[in-house]
Structure formats: structure tokens, C-alpha cells
């Protein structure tokens, strides 16, 4: 990849900038709406060239302009415009800030000339679109008002130069200057560009949904990706993406739809509920529109330039979620797809994930080999047959000139998808029915070119089998003309069935294919940046690096432990080891898993599963830890190093949840533990030679660590330094805090009045200073001490303006009290600092007030656990768990202080969410303990008949069912039912939910007649209260009896009843109504279980 020169712009760059910038945005789905249909690219470029000198000279005080230049040719290949905040227009020396990016001024005569030229330019955008960006502007103005930002106002790379790292180079240049002056950058990005910014460290702070439909031009489909299945308001349980790309001289609204001649409803096979959405239910389906009509300048390059747009849109839509992709490409859309895959395969391409996530491709009459020596008029036939009177002569001429290059493209693509590291499945479909071509329907020049083939009219195959098929891809014939290759008249169409079966096959094998393609991909999942101030420990690191590379022993998984006291530096040693292994063994993947709680372990495994594209990772009921273990245990995954940090709890690792049983083993693997306790290493059966004991630093190392963050003038005399380090016991955590304090406040030795625990002492000195000079930082630290030590979201801390929060966290980092993570919206804290902070709060009688505040913040942020918001509650779960595991909830910790009614209510609701989360994750033993704890508090403070108490009893009954404690479930559900019937109307849904649990509890004890009688009695009451056709009545009719039939092994009857009740419910409320989901979901589970049972039975 080239190293682009980033330079300031001048007015002399106006012409080159106009061509670069207008070309860059010519395919933008929103920008293209601005212009009337007849507007051409070249015309708009020429008008822009008149405008640009004046535009560049406008607002010189605040605007900065940069260009990217090819160092070999000197050509301008990219452009960025920045706007400085009003308070940073002047540098410290009194001159303009960032002068090298400011447009050089010109004389008054030149300015007048440029202004006149500007006024002569045509710039008649559609006036009705003046309000299209209003919503964006409101959000942007609000954010820019919160604090000073450098705004990235404009970023453009010509389509021919996309995917070469130009945009990244321009943005990185701006980031360097922003860091230099200490001002963050703001950018308003469309979805297609989001991936580039995320890779450069930007974080999303808000999102605006812009509806362009009111401005749409009737004759022009909006360009880019459009999701058509499922509907926006429907529940999305899909796991794969299907993306359909149209061909030449058309758009998606005409490509995929079969119009019936009798005038009845047209058939959209990608969208209609009885076609592809029914046959591939796990798919989210998109169409992709590109400008298939404009070929004014370098037509073939313009055509292939759409490949970068396609990659950017797909990458932007997927974001960080790595989902399998199946492409369906029609005609010339297949050439764009092939070029996109070729470009994505290039080393360093930012959209490589799109290639690695692709699990299948369907090509419908794509002219891979459009022309040949024996038939030089072939491109005239293909393009003329498609475009007719609108045939672009420029495109045909360019296709003939570029024919060899197109053949190279095709050859490269064919070799790529069948390479050993990919082997992407594909199907090529070719037409078998001829298309009638008449000279009268062709432009005169095109008609003369084909005169050697026929006189007035003929019937020909536009894209022959030889042209439409690649040798490395399976081929199929469709009985259709070229124009009908992408249209099917219904689900029984033979052509549709052939295409459908190919897509279904790709979908069925999606995750194994994606995993295979990603197995050679190296991953580095470490949540911390490298510690640039890491010093010493070389002998220990050498021991570790001799043991942990997977290649050390090819016959077994390496197990190594770093053992030592808290604060001794185990995590920092492991972190440095991880970076050195990455440098020395680039083929080795590295994963970091904190073992401070079940939640942190689970969340890390979920992230590993996403990176490894593990099948089933998005399933709400999946055992994530087992799925990841199975993939890592497969030797095909390649070599990896797994770092288990803070493996200190024997109970967590070996009892209850037993996290140790989820550790993978492979002959190409290595696991490194950090732990305080020797027994952990013994229980893992780690060889004594692989247990590396870490003690305090030696004097030289300790001195280096202390001085690493200090200026020379801040370093005391040798005797003072020695005395300080003796007091700090050469403990790295204490030394880091002392060094951080000294960097801000000269000398720490004068502040030590009495010798206590060194970590507590250095913490207290720092905290007193922080409390005095930055109370917001002190408030943050008080809240952090009750939360899990890893990945603390800043949104759980006291609310304050963003600038204040940045200063508070910056202060805590400067004092080495928190550790920065790669994610900018969270931090880590050492448990010893948490302990010291809690002890101080207890002494100052602030413990209860701070804990109450944290409960309230968590209660506000922690949503009720559902599948749709799983990523949200999974993030807060470990912090709620840490809070309730804290012994301070015992009354004696607070003395005479007690929680008030609001605080008790917050505690109960938060604990309910925590219990529900544990239940959702099938941690039923843990959820049972939480429910029991909630029940005790709720009954004491709210009473037995309170709604919250009853909800807890009902959830606990359901939890007992999952644990197969059927007698306990029966007893508790009876008690719950009695209380509900005393306080609620007979038709209340909560009564029937309680009765359902009771029916199942009885049936699970094989008392089927009793359960059946109770079911019939319940249904009769429900019919009387709600009505025969009420959706709730139908729902219970579908779930209860089928469950009882399943328990008795009457599977055929259960399946038939499921289908009957589902069909009836869908007739009443519709197929997409939320009430159908429980029966749909249970039917799917039932069928999957039956399939597994049959597989086990042979």
C-alpha cells in the first residue's frame, strides 16, 4: 500500500478537487437526490470547478483543507476539510492554528475574479430538499455545543482510488493535530463510512434515522443497501444476510419483480412471504442499488468502481457484527461483485471482513467472458440487447478496449474463491432461451456493428453458457430469456426452485463455511493498549516467553501460571507478554478473558465467539462458553494463546458454575493464568516448572518504574528514593500511584505521616489531593468501588458534562487509579484500590449513600432482560452482580442507617433484573439464590401480596421447573395462585400464567390426568373471561396441551396440535404479531429436538 503525502491545499488545486469530490459523492444515495435526472457527472464537475476557488477562500479563519497526493505521480487522490472550534483559531505563538492546512490568501483582484466565476456556475439543486438534513443539523448542533470539537466537515476519495487507505491517512493526519492541541474530533457519518471511523478509534455518540422517501425521485431508486425483509417493525431473529445486486440499465424495483400479464399481484421473490423469506427464514434480505445508467467518463472503471461502494455499504451495515453473507448478482452486477471480492482480498483492504464473511454467491447470467476473438461483436449484442435504444456506445467501446483486463478480473476472481484458504461456494446460472434483437431498436452505430451477424432481426442468447459460467463454480441452466433470469412467477416455478435450493444450501452451511474461511485469520483480543512505561521484569518475562508460545510443545496444550500477591504486577507482566508473543509469533491468535466473575467470563467468550464466527453465537439460549470451547479445541482453528486474568476464586472456577470445565484444549494452544493463590495452579494440574512466582521488584527495577513517569527535575536524591521504595515494599501498584502523584505534586515522601499498607497509603494521599482539586473525579472513584473491576461503563458514574467527565477520568488515569481500555467509554480499576475506597467510605460514614447512588444508576441503565436488548443487559450484569455480592448490604455495615422505601424498591427491581439475566443464561442455581434473596426483602418491606413479591414468586416457580424441582414449583405456584386470586380479577393474565406453571409442574411429576383436568378447567375460565377467539385464549390453547403431550412422548400429536394452534392464531392476529412468537419459537425448538433425537437413534 502506498504512503500518501498529506499536504495543505491551495486555490490551484480547485480543478482537481472538483473532479475528486464530485466523483466521490456521485454515487451517494442521499446526495444524488439533489440533482435533476438529466444532470451528468461531467457537467457537475465543470460547474464545481468554477465554484471551488471561491469556496476554498471562504471562512479561512476557521476552515482547514488537506489533500492526499500520490508520491509517484503527484496526482491529487483525496481531500479532507476541517473546521476548528471558535476558541482554537489562534495558536500559542499568536499565529493561526494549524497554518500548514490553511488556504494561502490571494490578492483582492483575484478574490473578485473568483467570486464572479463562482456566480456564473450552475448550481440548481432541488429546492424541496433544503430540509433533508434538518434532523442531522439539530443533533450535530447539540453535540458541538457541549464542548469544543474539531469537526471533520468533508472527506472525499475518488471511486477509482477507494480501498487504498487514502481516507484513513487523511483522518489520521487530523487526529495527530487534534491530539497535539488536546481537542477531540467530531464527524457526522453515513452508515457506509462508519467502519472506517470505528477502526480509527471513533465512537458513536448519537444516531439519526434520516427518511429520504419524501424526497425520492419517481424515476430513480435510492442507491445503496435497502433492507426489505424483515419489516422494520417486525422482530428480527435472523442470523445471516442475503444481498441482491441488480444489473445494467435497471434498478431493484424492476429487477426482482415478476409482473403478471393478467394484472394480478406482481411477484417479488425476494420479499413475498411465501417465497425466499419463507424458504430461508434465518435470512435478513437486502437489495443493493447502483447507478446503472451513467457511463460518461471511463465507463468500465466507473462500472467497476461500484465495487468499493458495495463493500463500504455492506461493511457499514454489518458494523462489528460478523454475520454470514450470501450474494445474489444479476448480469453486470456479478462483475461488480467479482471485482469487490478481488479488492477485498488485497492486503490491507479495510473491507476484508466482507470477503471472509461471504458464504455463498449466486450469479444470474453474468457475462464473465463477454467477448472473444471469434465474435468481436459480442459486447454489442450483450449491451445492445439489454439497453436497446439507450445503449451506451462509450460503454461498449470501453468494454472492447478493456476486454483483456476484464478477463484478468474474471480469472483472479475464479482463483480467489477456490483458494485453499477460502473455497467460497457459488452457483452460475445461464439462460437457455433466446432474446429477440431488432436493429430498429438499436442506435445506428450499434446496428451497423452487428450487421455481420443478422440483417433486420434475430433471436440470440445474450449471455451464453460459456460466458456466464466459471470453470471453478457449479453451473445450472434456467429455462428463461435473459430478462427473465431474475424473475419468477411463484414458489412453484422450476427456475425459482433451482435458485432457491442453491441459496438454502449456502444458508444451511453458512457458519461452517464462515468458520473455515476465518480459521487462518489471526485475532488479537486484548482489552488494553501496551504499557509504554513497562520496565524491568525481564527475567520473569523470559521465563514466560519460553513457556507460553503454542509451538513450544506440539503434543499438548501449554498451561502456565503467574502467581503472586495483589498489586504485585501480574496483569502488567501478562499484558507485556501478550504483545511480545504477537510480535514474535504473528500466526498465533491471542485472547484475554477476565475471570473475576461469571459475567466477565461470559462476556469475553461472547466477544471471542463473534471474532471466531462461531455458529449459534447469536442464539439467545446458546451455551456460549461451550460453543467457543468446542471451536478453540478444534485443531483447524490454528494456534492460540488464552490469557485467564484474575483467576483467584476457587468457587467460581471449580464449584457451582465451574468455569474451569469450559477451558479449551488443543495441541496448538497455550493458556496463561494470573492468580494470587497457589492452589489454583495446583487444581489446574500445572507443572511446577510452569508456575512462575512473582515477588516485589528489585531495587533497580523499582527505581526505573518510579522514575519512568517523572521529569528529571522531579527525581529526588538517591537516599530519598531508596527510603520511599523501602516503604512501598517495591510493590508495583503502590510505586505507580506514588510516581503519578509525584508527577503532579512534586514529592510524596513529605505526605507520608505514618507507615500503613503501602497501597492504601499512596491511594489515600492521591485521593485527598483529587478530592480537593477535582471533586468530580473523586465522585467517580466512589461509585467505581462497588462495581466489577473490569469494563466499568462511564454511564454508571455520576452525571456530568462530557468535558467534565473526560477531565475526571483523565485525572484518575494520571494518578494511576484506573486503567484505560481500548474502548473509550469504559475503564478498569484494581480491586485493592476499590477496597481502600470502600474502607474510607465506611470510616467517613458515606458507604450507604454511595451504594444507594450506584443502585439507582444501575436501576436506570439495566433494562429488563430480553433477547432484543441482550447486549445492553449483558454489559451491566457483572456490575449488578458485584454490587450484590458486596457484604455491605448487611445491616451492620451501615450502623444505624437504613434504606428508605425508594431505595428498597430500586434494590428489589435491580435484583429482579439480575435474577432474570441469570435465568436467561441458564444459570438456574445462581438465579434461584437471587430470587430467594429478593423474595425475603420484598416480603419484609413490601408485603406478601405486593405485585413485586408475587412476580418474584412466579419467576422462582418457573425457575424451579427449569431446575427440575417439580415439587417446589408446584408448592410455590399454588401459593402464588392463591394470593393472585385474592387480589386480581379472574381474567387477569397473571392468574393464567401462574396456572400454566402449576399445570406443567403437575404434568412433570407424571400426574397427567390431574394436569389435563386442571388445563381444561383453566381454559374454560379463560374462554368465559376473554372469549373463544381472543388471542390470549388461543396462545394458552397452543402452549399448554402440546407441552403435556410432549412430556408423555406423544410427539406426532404434539406437532400436529402446534401447527393447528399456530395457524389459528395467525388467522386472528396475523403472522408477524408478537403473540405468535411463543408458539413459533416452541415449534422450532420442538422440531430441532426431534431432529437431534432421530440423529441419535440413527
- The model's pLDDT over 136-147, given as tens digits with 9 standing for 90+, comes to 788 888 888 888
pLDDT value at position 378?
A: 59
Per-residue confidence band for 218, with pLDDT thresholds at 50, 70 and 90? very low
Any idea which architecture 5-199 has in CATH? 3-Layer(aba) Sandwich (3.40)
Q: Write 299-302 long-range contacts (CB < 8 A, 24+).
A: 299/392, 299/394, 299/395, 299/398, 299/399, 300/395, 300/398, 300/399, 300/401, 300/402, 300/405, 300/406, 301/159, 301/160, 302/159
- ∠ CA 347-469-160, nearest 5°, is 35
- Picking from 583, 585, 550, the residue whose alpha carbon sits closest to that of residue 670 is 550
The residue ranking higher by pLDDT, 694 or 132, is 694
The H or E element that residue 367 is part of is none
Q: Which of 2-16, 885-899, 1005-1019 has the highest mean pLDDT?
A: 2-16
Burial 295-304 (b: 16+ CB within 10 A, else e): bebbbbebbb
- The model's pLDDT over 194-209, given as tens digits with 9 standing for 90+, comes to 777 877 888 888 877 6
Going from N- to C-terminal start, the domains of the chain cover 5-199, 220-518, 524-693, 699-854, 1027-1098
Mean pLDDT (whole number) for 139-162 = 87
pLDDT value at position 344?
A: 86
How far is 807 from 815, CA to CA, in rounded Å? Answer: 12
Per-residue confidence band for 737, with pLDDT thresholds at 50, 70 and 90? low
* Phi, psi (deg, nearest 5) at residue 155: -140, 125
Question: Mean pLDDT across the chain, nearest whole number?
Answer: 79
CB 193 within 8 A of CB 351: no
Q: Verify cis geometry, omega within 30 degrees of 0, for the bond prior to 230.
A: yes
How far is 350 from 311, CA to CA, in rounded Å? Answer: 9
* Predicted model pTM: 0.53
Residue 816 is classified by DSSP as T
The secondary structure of 317-363 as a DSSP string is HHTT----EEEEEETTHHHHHHHHHHHHTSTT-TTHHHHHHEEEEEE
How far is 1030 from 1068, CA to CA, in rounded Å? Answer: 8
Count of CA atoms in the C-beta half-sphere (13 A) of 389: 2
3-state secondary structure at position 525: strand
CB 463 within 8 A of CB 430: yes
Cell of 576: 507485556
Is the model's pLDDT at 783 over the cut of 80?
yes
Cell of 764: 489515600
861 to each of 84, 270, 404, 882, how far by Cα in Å? 35, 39, 59, 16
Strand runs labelled E in 796-919? 818-820, 826-829
Q: Taking the CA atoms of 501, 505, 508 and 510 in sequence, report the sign of the dihedral they define.
A: negative
How far is 182 from 177, CA to CA, in rounded Å? Answer: 8
pLDDT value at position 36?
A: 67
Would strands 826-829 and 818-820 be described as parallel, antiparallel, or unpaired? antiparallel
pLDDT value at position 609?
A: 84
How far is 874 from 609, CA to CA, in rounded Å? Answer: 15
pLDDT value at position 523?
A: 84
How far is 1003 from 1046, CA to CA, in rounded Å? Answer: 10
Superfamily of domain 220-518: Alpha/Beta hydrolase fold, catalytic domain (3.40.50.1820)
Is the model's pLDDT at 282 over the cut of 50?
yes
How far is 953 from 408, CA to CA, in rounded Å? Answer: 69
Is the model's pLDDT at 1025 over the cut of 80?
no
Cell of 1028: 373463544
How far is 748 from 738, CA to CA, in rounded Å? Answer: 6
- The model's pLDDT over 461-508, given as tens digits with 9 standing for 90+, comes to 888 898 899 988 999 999 999 889 999 999 999 999 999 999 999 999
- The model's pLDDT over 817-840, given as tens digits with 9 standing for 90+, comes to 788 777 778 888 877 778 778 878
Is the model's pLDDT at 17 over the cut of 70?
yes
Cβ neighbours of 133 (radius 10 Å): 14
How far is 568 from 447, CA to CA, in rounded Å? Answer: 84
Is the model's pLDDT at 326 over the cut of 50?
yes
Per-residue confidence band for 175, with pLDDT thresholds at 50, 70 and 90? very high
pLDDT value at position 706?
A: 56
pLDDT value at position 1096?
A: 42
Is the model's pLDDT at 750 over the cut of 50?
no
CB 1043 within 8 A of CB 996: no
Q: Which class is domain 524-693?
A: alpha beta
How far is 312 from 307, CA to CA, in rounded Å? Answer: 9
Per-residue confidence band for 430, with pLDDT thresholds at 50, 70 and 90? very high
Beta bridge partners of 288: 225, 245
Cell of 47: 460547474
For 612-652, give the secondary structure using H, E and C: CCCCCCCCCCCCHHHHHHHHHHCHHHCCEEEEEECCCCHHH
Q: Taking the CA atoms of 352, 356, 358 and 364 in sequence, report the sign of the dihedral they define.
A: positive
Beta bridge partners of 76: 69
* Phi, psi (deg, nearest 5) at residue 460: -135, 160
The secondary structure of 434-462 as a DSSP string is -EEEEGGGS-HHHHHHTTTT-SSEEEE-S
Count of CA atoms in the C-beta half-sphere (13 A) of 199: 19
Identical fold between 5-199 and 524-693: no
Proportion of the chain above pLDDT 70, given as a percent: 74
How far is 550 from 642, CA to CA, in rounded Å? Answer: 10
User: Cα 562 vs. chain centroid, distance in angstroms?
Assistant: 33
How far is 775 from 838, CA to CA, in rounded Å? Answer: 17
- The model's pLDDT over 950-1007, given as tens digits with 9 standing for 90+, comes to 888 888 988 888 888 889 988 998 998 888 888 877 667 778 778 888 888 888 888 8
- Picking from 736, 720, 831, the residue whose alpha carbon sits closest to that of residue 786 is 831
How far is 572 from 592, CA to CA, in rounded Å? Answer: 13
Burial 934-968 (b: 16+ CB within 10 A, else e): bbebbbebbeeebebbbbbbbbbbbbbbeeebbeb
Q: Which of 567-576, 662-671, 1002-1011 has the highest mean pLDDT?
A: 662-671
pLDDT value at position 371?
A: 43
How far is 930 from 839, CA to CA, in rounded Å? Answer: 26
How far is 829 from 438, CA to CA, in rounded Å? Answer: 76
Per-residue confidence band for 220, with pLDDT thresholds at 50, 70 and 90? very low
Cell of 880: 449488578
pLDDT value at position 988?
A: 72
Q: Which of 35-44, 218-227, 405-414, 436-445 has the highest mean pLDDT?
A: 405-414
- The model's pLDDT over 705-722, given as tens digits with 9 standing for 90+, comes to 555 655 555 455 566 556
Mean pLDDT (whole number) for 687-700 = 79
- ∠ CA 837-843-847, nearest 5°, is 60
* Phi, psi (deg, nearest 5) at residue 330: -105, 130
Amino acid at each position: 500500500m502506498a504512503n500518501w503525502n498529506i499536504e495543505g491545499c491551495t486555490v490551484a488545486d480547485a480543478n482537481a478537487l472538483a473532479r475528486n469530490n464530485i466523483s466521490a459523492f456521485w454515487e451517494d444515495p442521499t446526495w444524488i437526490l439533489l440533482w435533476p435526472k438529466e444532470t451528468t457527472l461531467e457537467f457537475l464537475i465543470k460547474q464545481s470547478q468554477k465554484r471551488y476557488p471561491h469556496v476554498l477562500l471562504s471562512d479561512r479563519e476557521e476552515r482547514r483543507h488537506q489533500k492526499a497526493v500520490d508520491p509517484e505521480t503527484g496526482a491529487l487522490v483525496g481531500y479532507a476539510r476541517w473546521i476548528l472550534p471558535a476558541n482554537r483559531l489562534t495558536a500559542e505563538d499568536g499565529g493561526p492554528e494549524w497554518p500548514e492546512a490553511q488556504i494561502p490568501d490571494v490578492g483582492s483582484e483575484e478574490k473578485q475574479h473568483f467570486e464572479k466565476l463562482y456566480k456564473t456556475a450552475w448550481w440548481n439543486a432541488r429546492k424541496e430538499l433544503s430540509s433533508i438534513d434538518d434532523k442531522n443539523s439539530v443533533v450535530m448542533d447539540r453535540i458541538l455545543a457541549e464542548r469544543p470539537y474539531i469537526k471533520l466537515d468533508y472527506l472525499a476519495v475518488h471511486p477509482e482510488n477507494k480501498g487504498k487507505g487514502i481516507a484513513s491517512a487523511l483522518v489520521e493526519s487530523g487526529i495527530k493535530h487534534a491530539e497535539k492541541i488536546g481537542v477531540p474530533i467530531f464527524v457526522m457519518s453515513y452508515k457506509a463510512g462508519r467502519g472506517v471511523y470505528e477502526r480509527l478509534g471513533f465512537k458513536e455518540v448519537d444516531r439519526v434515522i434520516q427518511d429520504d422517501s419524501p424526497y425520492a425521485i419517481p424515476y430513480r431508486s435510492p442507491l445503496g443497501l435497502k433492507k426489505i425483509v424483515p419489516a422494520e417493525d417486525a422482530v428480527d431473529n435472523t442470523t445471516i444476510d442475503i444481498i441482491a445486486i441488480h444489473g445494467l440499465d435497471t434498478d431493484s424495483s424492476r429487477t426482482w419483480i415478476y409482473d403478471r400479464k393478467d394484472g394480478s399481484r406482481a411477484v417479488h421473490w425476494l420479499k413475498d412471504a411465501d417465497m425466499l423469506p419463507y424458504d430461508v427464514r434465518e435470512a435478513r434480505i437486502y437489495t443493493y442499488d447502483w447507478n446503472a445508467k451513467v457511463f460518461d467518463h471511463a465507463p468500465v472503471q466507473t462500472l467497476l468502481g461500484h465495487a468499493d461502494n458495495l463493500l463500504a455499504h455492506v461493511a457499514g451495515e454489518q458494523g462489528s457484527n460478523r454475520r454470514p453473507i450470501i450474494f445474489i448478482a444479476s448480469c453486470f452486477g456479478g462483475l461488480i461483485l467479482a471485482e469487490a471480492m478481488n479488492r477485498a482480498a488485497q492486503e490491507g483492504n479495510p473491507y476484508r471482513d466482507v470477503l471472509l464473511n461471504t458464504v455463498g454467491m449466486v450469479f444470474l447470467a453474468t457475462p464473465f467472458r463477454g467477448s472473444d476473438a471469434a465474435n468481436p461483436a459480442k459486447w454489442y449484442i450483450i449491451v445492445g440487447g439489454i439497453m436497446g435504444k439507450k445503449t451506451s456506445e462509450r460503454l461498449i467501446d470501453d468494454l472492447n478496449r478493456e476486454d483483456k483486463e476484464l478477463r484478468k478480473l474474471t480469472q483472479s476472481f475464479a482463483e480467489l474463491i477456490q483458494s485453499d484458504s477460502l473455497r467460497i461456494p457459488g452457483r452460475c446460472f445461464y439462460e437457455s432461451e433466446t432474446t429477440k434483437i431488432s436493429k430498429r431498436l438499436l442506435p445506428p452505430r450499434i446496428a451497423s456493428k452487428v450487421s455481420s451477424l443478422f440483417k433486420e432481426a434475430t433471436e440470440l442468447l445474450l449471455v451464453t453458457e460459456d460466458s456466464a459460467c466459471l470453470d471453478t463454480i457449479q453451473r445450472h441452466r434456467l429455462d428463461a430469456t435473459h430478462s427473465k433470469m431474475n424473475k419468477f412467477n411463484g414458489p412453484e416455478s422450476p427456475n425459482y426452485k433451482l435458485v432457491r435450493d442453491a441459496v438454502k444450501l449456502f444458508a444451511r452451511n453458512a457458519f461452517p463455511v464462515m468458520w473455515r474461511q476465518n480459521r487462518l485469520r489471526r485475532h488479537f483480543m486484548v482489552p488494553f493498549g501496551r504499557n509504554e512505561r513497562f520496565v524491568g521484569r525481564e527475567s520473569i518475562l523470559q521465563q514466560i516467553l519460553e513457556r507460553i508460545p503454542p509451538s513450544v510443545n506440539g503434543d499438548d496444550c501449554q498451561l502456565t501460571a503467574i502467581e503472586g500477591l495483589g498489586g504485585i504486577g501480574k496483569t502488567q507482566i501478562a499484558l507485556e507478554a501478550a504483545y511480545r508473543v504477537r510480535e514474535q509469533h504473528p500466526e498465533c491468535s491471542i485472547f484475554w478473558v477476565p475471570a473475576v466473575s461469571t459475567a466477565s467470563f461470559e462476556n469475553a467468550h461472547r466477544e471471542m465467539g463473534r471474532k471466531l464466527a462461531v455458529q449459534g453465537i447469536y442464539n439467545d439460549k446458546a451455551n456460549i462458553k461451550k460453543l467457543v470451547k468446542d471451536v478453540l479445541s478444534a485443531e483447524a482453528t490454528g494456534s492460540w494463546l488464552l490469557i485467564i486474568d484474575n483467576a483467584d476464586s476457587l468457587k467460581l472456577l471449580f464449584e457451582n458454575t465451574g468455569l474451569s470445565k469450559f477451558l479449551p484444549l488443543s495441541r496448538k494452544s497455550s493458556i496463561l493464568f494470573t492468580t494470587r493463590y497457589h492452589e489454583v495452579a495446583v487444581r489446574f494440574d500445572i507443572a511446577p516448572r510452569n508456575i512462575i512466582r512473582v515477588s516485589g521488584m528489585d531495587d533497580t527495577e523499582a527505581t526505573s518504574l518510579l522514575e519512568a513517569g517523572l521529569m528529571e527535575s522531579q527525581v529526588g536524591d538517591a537516599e530519598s528514593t531508596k527510603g520511599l521504595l523501602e516503604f512501598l515494599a517495591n510493590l508495583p501498584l503502590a510505586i505507580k500511584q506514588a510516581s503519578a502523584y509525584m508527577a503532579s505534586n512534586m514529592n510524596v515522601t513529605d505526605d507520608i505521616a505514618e507507615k500503613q499498607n503501602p497501597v492504601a497509603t499512596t491511594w489515600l494521599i492521591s485521593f485527598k489531593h483529587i478530592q480537593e482539586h477535582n471533586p468530580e473525579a473523586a465522585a467517580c472513584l466512589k461509585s467505581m468501588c462497588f462495581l466489577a473491576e473490569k469494563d466499568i461503563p462511564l454511564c454508571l458514574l455520576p452525571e456530568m458534562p462530557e468535558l467534565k467527565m473526560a477531565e475526571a477520568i483523565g485525572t484518575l488515569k494520571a494518578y494511576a487509579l484506573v486503567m484505560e481500555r481500548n474502548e473509550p467509554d469504559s475503564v478498569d480499576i484494581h480491586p485493592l484500590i476499590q477496597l481502600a475506597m470502600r474502607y474510607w467510605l465506611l470510616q467517613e460514614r458515606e458507604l450507604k449513600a454511595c451504594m444507594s447512588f450506584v443502585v439507582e444508576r444501575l436501576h436506570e441503565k439495566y433494562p429488563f432482560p430480553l433477547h432484543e436488548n441482550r447486549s445492553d443487559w449483558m454489559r451491566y450484569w457483572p456490575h449488578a452482580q458485584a454490587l450484590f455480592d458486596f457484604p455491605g448490604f448487611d445491616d451492620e455495615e451501615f450502623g444505624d442507617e437504613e434504606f428508605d422505601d425508594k431505595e428498597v424498591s430500586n434494590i428489589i427491581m435491580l435484583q429482579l433484573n439480575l435474577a432474570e439475566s441469570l435465568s436467561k443464561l441458564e444459570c438456574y442455581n445462581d438465579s434461584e439464590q437471587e430470587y430467594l434473596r429478593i423474595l425475603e426483602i420484598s416480603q419484609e418491606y413490601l408485603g406478601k401480596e405486593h405485585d413485586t413479591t408475587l412476580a418474584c414468586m412466579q419467576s422462582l416457580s418457573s425457575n424451579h421447573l427449569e431446575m427440575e424441582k417439580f415439587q417446589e414449583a408446584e408448592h410455590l405456584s399454588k401459593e402464588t395462585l392463591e394470593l393472585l386470586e385474592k387480589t386480581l380479577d379472574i381474567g387477569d393474565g397473571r392468574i393464567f400464567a401462574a396456572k400454566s406453571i402449576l399445570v406443567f409442574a403437575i404434568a412433570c411429576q407424571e400426574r397427567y390426568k390431574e394436569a389435563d383436568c386442571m388445563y381444561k378447567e383453566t381454559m374454560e375460565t379463560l374462554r368465559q373471561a376473554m372469549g373463544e377467539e381472543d388471542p390470549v385464549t388461543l396462545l394458552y390453547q397452543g402452549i399448554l396441551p402440546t407441552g403435556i403431550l410432549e412430556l408423555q412422548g406423544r410427539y406426532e400429536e404434539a406437532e400436529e396440535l402446534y401447527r393447528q394452534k399456530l395457524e389459528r392464531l395467525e388467522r386472528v392476529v396475523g403472522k408477524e404479531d408478537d403473540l405468535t412468537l411463543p408458539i413459533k419459537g416452541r415449534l422450532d425448538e420442538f422440531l430441532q429436538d426431534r431432529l437431534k433425537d432421530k440423529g441419535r437413534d440413527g
